[in-house]
Amino acid sequence: MSATWHADDELFASYVRGDADALRSASLEQHLIHCETCRSRIAQHVEPRPLELVWDRIREDVQAPAHGPVERFLARLGLPESDALVISAASSLRVSWLWGVVLSLTFVGASVAWGGTRGLALFLAIAPLVPVVGVAFAYGPAVDDTYELAVASPYSGPRLLLLRTAAVLVTSIPLVLVVGLLAPGLSWTAVTWLLPASAFTVVVLAAATWVPATDAAAVLMVAWVCAVGAAAVRHDPAAVVDPAVLPAYVLLAGVAAVVLRRRIRHLTVVRRLP
Amino acid sequence: MSTPTTISLAGVAKRYRGTTALDGVDLSFGPGITGLLGPNGAGKTTLLRIAATVLAPDAGDVRLLGRTLRSTEALHDVRCRLGYLPQEMGFPRTFTGFGFVDYMAVLKEWTQRAPRHDEVRRVLALVDLDGLATKRVRTLSGGQRRRLALAQALLGEPSLLLLDEPTTGVDPEQRVALRQVLSRAGERSTVLLSTHQTEDVEALCDRVVVLDRGRVRFDGAVTDLVATATGKVWLADGPDPSARASWRTGTGRHRNVGEGAPAGAEAAEPTLEDAYLLLLGDRARAEGVAA
């Protein structure tokens, strides 16, 4: 079938713009099905850029990585998308780690509910170490797959470390707090553990300027568990968070913070690699 | 012709617990591709780590792009113009190929999402991985992961490109494709290429540095190193027991790399591999005498 009539430029233009009426649009569409000449002519009226833009958007949506729960949470807190991405590459921020925390705290909560002194000791032994472990596993040659690349990049090493630390604290401390507050019989202990937890976190960060953070965390963990154990043997595990010793944690945190501030630039070049 | 010096190492030394990785190395590099050859433990990786600002040397001076690395600002500026591919690297487990390069682009301070994603797509296309960008890294093959690792080094067209065995596990076709990418990079950037593949060096580099036990054994044009093997490579009907290396080739004749010509032998065109074997063979013989 050969068409003798052809659409004019004005009709094409108004059709492409979308302001041709329904009848004219329908008849043009009918005509286009059969007329090759008009098909090739209408193509010239179609702006290629919007098409490319649409295609780019589609490609963007398909290729751009889906944001994990941690990333989404951080973005909702107002953190720039790029910082959220940096945080999410930390191994300790995976959902599986959070589940690990939840699981261990469930056991602790249960033991607190059942076992009086022993349960209290267990809670005190574990709660302050949760953020410490998280921080230790957030940065460093032993745990970060891309550690060498991160060091060689212009992104500030201290910023990377502190961002990830902040993220670990934000995600783990509320969990421990909730467990502590829900468990019966903890009273002030449900909150006071935050002091040793903060002090130990700063100590690990300061120590990370000399040794791998994981080593520092391991030493701290052993020391803390021994301290709590010794107090528990004397039937008073809460002694480690006694009002009399709390200033010592504040002092420890302060000293470690000063050391961290003075040495934080050592995070930018490594002396040893595994 | 004088080319600008972009990497300058003077008396650079590094020891790890009793073993010497670099023993007072003096080297300088400018734009173009330099191959780093040497046996395992020769110090190639240490040299690249030092040039990549990842490792601080025990002694000696390092200047990159004309700057010492003493201030945080200098370090930052140099790192902005540096691309580095480590010899061994892992990937965050849950990342896709795109996600990994995107993360690296953030570390390289591409904070704006749209231009960053354009750049990520550009480097993925360079290494021919744009079709696999959405696959998780752990499902990629070894060669594909190696190309992904190379892609992040190419972000932002760095002035210094430090590549530690970029072609390990990459199939021949892809290796040739990567040569194209690297040779183009070598037109404006300083590329250091550590490798065990002498044919990659022969195909890409004008200059070659051979390291051995932390010292520079050879530094010069690839053609000059190849020329040292002229008249020392023979094709003969049988193996030559006095040769440094001797093997039966696919044609049935024996390729003998050594000083004297065996009876009935004809001279063969030497390759970089022959010259490399001869250069390091001297060491093996010296050790044999000493032992």
The residues, ordered by sequence, that sit 6+ positions from A155 with a Cβ below 8 Å of its Cβ are A86, B106, B107, B108, B109
Of B169, B201, B221, the position where a domain reaches its end is B221
- Kindly identify which residue of chain B lies nearest to residue A159, measuring between CA atoms: B107
Q: Which of A55-64, A237-246, B83-92, B177-186 has the lowest mean pLDDT?
A: A55-64
Same domain, B243 and B183: no
Instruction: Find which of B14, B107, B110, B162 to mutate to test the A interface (most A CBs within 10 Å of its CB).
Output: B107
Whole-complex ipTM? 0.85
Residues of B with CB under 8 A from a CB of A: 16, 49, 52-56, 69, 72, 75-77, 79-80, 82, 84, 86, 89-96, 98-99, 102-104, 106-111, 113, 116-117, 121, 133-134, 152
Residue that finishes a domain, picked among B118, B138, B157: B157
B17 plus B146 within the same structural domain: no
The answer on B142 and B253 residing in a single domain is: no
Q: Are A108 and A121 in contact (CB under 8 A)?
A: no
Same domain? For B55 and B170 the reply is: yes
**Do B209 and B172 lie in a common domain?**
yes
User: Are residues B114 and B210 both part of a single domain?
Assistant: no
Amino acid A70: pLDDT: 66
* B69 and B172 assigned to the same domain: yes
B191 and B69 both lie in a single domain:
yes
Q: How many CA atoms lie within 13 A of A273 on its CB side?
A: 24
Using CA coordinates, name the residue in chain B closest to A266. Answer: B72
The predicted model gives A102-123 an average pLDDT of: 79
pLDDT over 90, % of chain A: 17
pLDDT of residue A269: 58
Q: Pick from B205, B221, B237: which residue ends a domain?
A: B221
Q: Are B77 and B186 part of one and the same domain? A: yes
Residue B189 is predicted with a pLDDT of 95
* Cβ contact, residue pair A94, B94, below 8 Å: yes
pLDDT in tens, A8-22: 888 888 888 888 888
Confidence of residue A54 (pLDDT cuts 50, 70, 90): confident
Query: What CA–CA distances, in Å, run from A203 to A135, A207, A219, A258, B23?
Result: 11, 6, 11, 10, 37
In this prediction, residue B291 carries a pLDDT of 36
**Residue A95 — very low, low, confident or very high, per pLDDT cuts 50/70/90?**
low
Candidates B99, B107, B113; nearest CB to A150? B107
Give the CATH number of the domain where residue B205 resides.
3.40.50.300
**Structural domain span for residue B217:** 1-81+159-221
Does B149 lie in the same domain as B186? no
Inspect the interface and report whether the beta carbons of B91 and A60 lie closer than 8 Å: no
Low-confidence ranges of chain B (pLDDT < 50): 286-291
Which of B93, B102, B109 has its CB closest to that of A85? Answer: B102
CA A244 to each of CA A192, A203, A213, A241, A250: distance values in angstroms, whole numbers, following the listed order: 12, 21, 29, 8, 12
| Chain A contact set for B99 (CB, 8 A) | 65
User: Per the CB < 8 Å rule, is B107 touching A155?
Assistant: yes
One domain for residues B20 and B59: yes
**If you average pLDDT over residues A251-260, what whole number do you get?**
95
- Total structural domains in chain B? 3
Six-digit token string for B111: 């904070």
Geometric angle at alpha carbon A91, from A88 and A96, rounded to 5°: 95
Specify whether B133 is located in the same domain as B252: no
Q: Mapping DSSP to helix (H, G, I), strand (E, B) and coil, where does residue B212 land?
A: strand
